[in-house]
């Protein structure tokens, strides 16, 4: 991808952001604004999930823990410490970043399924901790003072998600950091030989993924005014983000956005019109994931762009056409 096409895409992203900024001005229906707010939140969650899943190659089933840490820290500081909302949210991000460091050091030594299981288990442990602790309200959760201003929360979500998108664009697509993460994803041993410290890079990626997730969690807590261990620390955030990222296309920034919008739109429409067939929702979602893993390895977006990037995507070791030297049929045998 040349810098020019990247700049065009960035301009496109900026225009989309500007358009999203105008949404509350034209959309006076509270229900739709609520849907839009949640959609923007899921875009942010899918983006932050993709930092680890797509760019670094680690499926973090503990992603929800960062969301919950952000939500609970914000709720606790606002309700018990009487902190102002913005400061409480920022403190939640700091808490999640520290949590990412603590979780990352032992778990990021693991690979593949072991990492997924370890992070899932840690997230469950944190959920149980919130469930049995008294200061978090245990299973009763926590109630926050309601602030009834839908537009405020829409802009808060958009601010976090927009900032996340552009920060990730800069760090992952422009700065060396993104390519270094991809090197670790592709071959950790080879990355070491090139002077990269994989453990350090992976921990940085985990922290980078945790911060926006916790910010969104904090905004979410104040927005919905009630949180409990299930709604914020449960599996939902990790699972949905995974589905969105896989469906949209991993390892890109546009993929998670597209995946989040499509999956969230499907979810909203389903609950609006077909809520009587509740059980079907999970079945359909499962089928979508299974099918997209098999038939759309690069995601919905990857399918659209595949033709443009023709030979680069050839998997395996076959040589499409001879270079200067001409292919030697014996070379592949050796």
Partner 1 sequence: MTEPILKVEGLSKVFGGLTAVNEVSFDLAPGEIVGLIGPNGAGKTTLFNVISGYYAPTRGKVIFQGRDVSGKPPYALARRGIGRTFQVVKPFAGLSVLENIIIASFLKHPRRAHAEAQAWKVLEVTGLADRAHHAAASLTLAGRKRLEIGKALALEPSFLLLDEVVAGLNPTETDRTMELILRLRDSGISILIVEHIMRVIMGISDRLVVLNFGQKIAEGAPAEVARNPSVVQAYLGKEAE
Footprint of partner 1 (CB under 8 A): 174-176, 179-180, 182-183, 185-187, 189-197, 311-320, 323-325, 327-328, 330-332, 334
The Cα–Cα gap between 214 and 224 comes to 15
Element (H, E) at 83: none
The Cα–Cα gap between 74 and 316 comes to 48
The Cα–Cα gap between 243 and 232 comes to 17
Q: Which is nearer to partner 1, 144 or 191 (CB)?
A: 191
Burial of 77 (0-12, 13-18, 19+ CB in 10 A): buried
* Residue matched to tokens 């620390």: 233
Burial of 92 (0-12, 13-18, 19+ CB in 10 A): buried
- Least separation in angstroms between residue 324's CB and partner 1 is 6
Q: Which is nearer to partner 1, 181 or 285 (CB)?
A: 181
Please count the other Cβ atoms lying within 10 Å of the Cβ belonging to residue 117: 14
- Least separation in angstroms between residue 174's CB and partner 1 is 7
- Least separation in angstroms between residue 249's CB and partner 1 is 13
The Cα–Cα gap between 100 and 199 comes to 13
- Least separation in angstroms between residue 33's CB and partner 1 is 40
- Least separation in angstroms between residue 296's CB and partner 1 is 16
Q: Which is nearer to partner 1, 62 or 178 (CB)?
A: 178
Q: Which is nearer to partner 1, 84 or 195 (CB)?
A: 195
Q: Which is nearer to partner 1, 102 or 175 (CB)?
A: 175
Task: Give, in order, the Cα–Cα distances in Å from 201 to each of 27, 37, 213, 238.
Answer: 42, 32, 19, 21
Q: Which is nearer to partner 1, 6 or 128 (CB)?
A: 6
Interior/surface letters 21-40, b for 16+ CB within 10 angstroms, e for the rest: eebbeebeeeeebebbbbbb
- Least separation in angstroms between residue 292's CB and partner 1 is 18
Cβ atoms 178, 54 nearer than 8 A: no
Q: Which is nearer to partner 1, 84 or 316 (CB)?
A: 316
- Least separation in angstroms between residue 188's CB and partner 1 is 10
Q: Which is nearer to partner 1, 57 or 229 (CB)?
A: 57
For helices 254-273 and 30-50, the axis angle rounded to 10 degrees is: 140
* Residue matched to tokens 């690979």: 111
- Least separation in angstroms between residue 46's CB and partner 1 is 21
């Amino acid at each position: 991808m040349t810098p020019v096409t990247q700049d065009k895409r960035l301009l496109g992203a900026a225009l989309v952001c500007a358009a999203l900024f105008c949404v509350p001005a034209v959309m006076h229906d509270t229900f739709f604004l609520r849907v839009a707010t949640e959609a923007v939140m899921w875009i942010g969650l899918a983006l932050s999930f993709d930092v680890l899943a797509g760019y670094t190659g680690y499926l973090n089933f503990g992603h929800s823990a960062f969301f919950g840490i952000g939500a609970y820290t914000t709720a606790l500081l606002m309700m018990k410490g009487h902190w102002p909302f913005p400061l409480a949210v920022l403190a939640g991000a700091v808490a999640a970043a520290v949590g990412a460091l603590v979780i990352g050091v032992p778990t990021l030594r693991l690979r593949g399924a072991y990492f997924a299981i370890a992070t899932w288990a840690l997230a469950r442990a944190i959920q149980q901790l919130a469930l049995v602790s008294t200061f978090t309200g245990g299973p009763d959760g926590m109630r926050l003072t309601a602030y009834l201003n839908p537009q405020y929360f829409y802009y808060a979500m958009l601010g976090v998600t927009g900032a996340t998108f552009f920060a990730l664009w800069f760090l992952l697509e422009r700065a060396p950091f993104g390519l270094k993460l991809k090197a670790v994803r592709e071959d950790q041993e080879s990355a070491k030989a090139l002077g990269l410290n994989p453990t350090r890079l992976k921990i940085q990626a985990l922290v980078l993924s945790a911060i926006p997730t916790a910010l969104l969690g904090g905004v979410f807590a104040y927005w919905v005014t009630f949180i409990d261990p299930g709604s914020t620390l449960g599996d939902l955030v990790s699972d949905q983000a995974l589905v969105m990222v896989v469906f949209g296309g991993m390892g890109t920034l546009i993929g998670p956005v597209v995946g989040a919008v499509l999956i969230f739109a499907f979810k909203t429409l389903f609950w609006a019109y077909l809520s009587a067939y509740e059980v079907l929702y999970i079945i359909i979602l499962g089928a979508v994931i299974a099918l997209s893993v098999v038939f759309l390895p690069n995601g919905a977006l990857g399918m659209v762009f595949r033709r443009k990037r023709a030979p680069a995507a050839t998997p395996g070791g076959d040589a499409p056409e001879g270079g200067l030297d001409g292919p030697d049929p014996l070379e592949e045998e050796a």
